[in-house]
Chains A and B, each alone.
Chain A
């Protein structure tokens, strides 16, 4: 009797398991599992803008006017810990070590701290939000206070943010901070209030060497697409699969 019951329950178990497995498999065919379910997909409508950004490291002279203008335009606190964009000075020495400096984000200018004879090469790298279309910060937000707008700009809903700092940790590019007065996450909005009215961003406006380009990736004759056509561009940390839309020309492998 006992053997029979065991047999019976085993058969029942296998049957149920098979049905469940085929059910999961079938539902997978209908709607493929998508880990980035809350990250916006690249829009299929090519008539709408899809904002991206380009930086030409060859042209950057490290004047820090972009970081300064960003603070003036967006009322970012002046203390040297809060930046929506900043400039880093990379110095690669002859012995192979890399020195990265960013005193006050470059707003007060840079000093050459390594003598010429020890330098293998040196350059400036402006940094800012990468406006990823598979943003780690958007996926980390527990309340839906940060999101990708339909035109591809990562924005913060500061009335809804609870200031939990998960997104600050999630961003692999270090582009977010907690606003000291509002106690909510704050970051580059790609001057959304300007670009949506047909103006350029504050950092692009003040850049004296046109090292920065903001543009619509769907506009095949636009300035950003032209920049991508004419230069060999890379994104930062491509292995993280963030879908970064900040393209650097002449990006060295040392840049992190």
Chain B
């Protein structure tokens, strides 16, 4: 072995060891376990906060409303579609109340007439023509839309 190499070898070994130490400090735990990423991040993504409780959770207390809902054409709709995320209300039913949308425009999100909507999928009405000035829920029970409320008798009940 040439004498120059003898003096250089420890130097190179030192460089390699320093590189390995720095690399060990910089590469985070679990990086590369399953691929080019931090595998612990998969578990961290599972820990995110939930906000929607699901229809079954609503039925635990509001079984009367879910039974109403199941009896008519809105049966396929989840409670939280209209009432918003309900997990906070599920955990604290007294302090946190859910929204109850009453405006015509809210019903119109689904039911306003629009040629992009398939007629066979959804009943559509013209908001500019159908019982102007009244809220939909004055006649229709949103849980049972075809059970028209008795006290309401508008002249033209489409």
Contact = CB atoms under 8 A, between A and B. Distances in A.
Interface of A: 38, 40, 58-59, 61-65, 69, 72-75, 89-91, 109-112, 116, 119, 122-124, 144-150, 155, 157, 159-160, 189, 192-194, 196-197, 199-200, 202, 205-210
Contact of A202 (B41, B52, B114, B122): B52
B146 to A, nearest CB: 16
**Shortest beta-carbon contacts, A-B, top 8:** A147-B37, A157-B41, A193-B48, A122-B116, A206-B81, A144-B36, A208-B77, A144-B37
B16 to A, nearest CB: 24
Given A150-B34, A159-B38, A208-B78, 4 more contacts: A69-B52, A69-B81, A189-B48, A206-B78
Overall SS of chain B's interface: loop
A40 B118 CA distance: 39
Nearest to A125: B116
Interface stretch (B89-97, B103-111, B129-137): B103-111
Interface of B: 28, 31, 34-38, 41-42, 44-52, 54-55, 74, 76-78, 80-81, 84-85, 105, 108-110, 112-118, 121-122
A64 B105 CA distance: 13
A151 B80 CA distance: 28
A147 B108 contact: no
Contacts of B31: 144
Nearest to A199: B54
Contact of A73 (B51, B109, B115): B51
Nearest to A250: B118
A72 B46 contact: no
A61 B81 contact: no
A61 B52 contact: no
12 contacts: A59-B121, A69-B85, A116-B115, A123-B116, A146-B37, A148-B35, A149-B45, A150-B42, A192-B45, A192-B48, A205-B55, A206-B81
Contacts of B45: 149, 155, 189, 192-193
B52 A72 contact: yes
Contact of A193 (B50, B74, B115, B117): B50
Contacts of A148: 35
B41 A205 contact: no
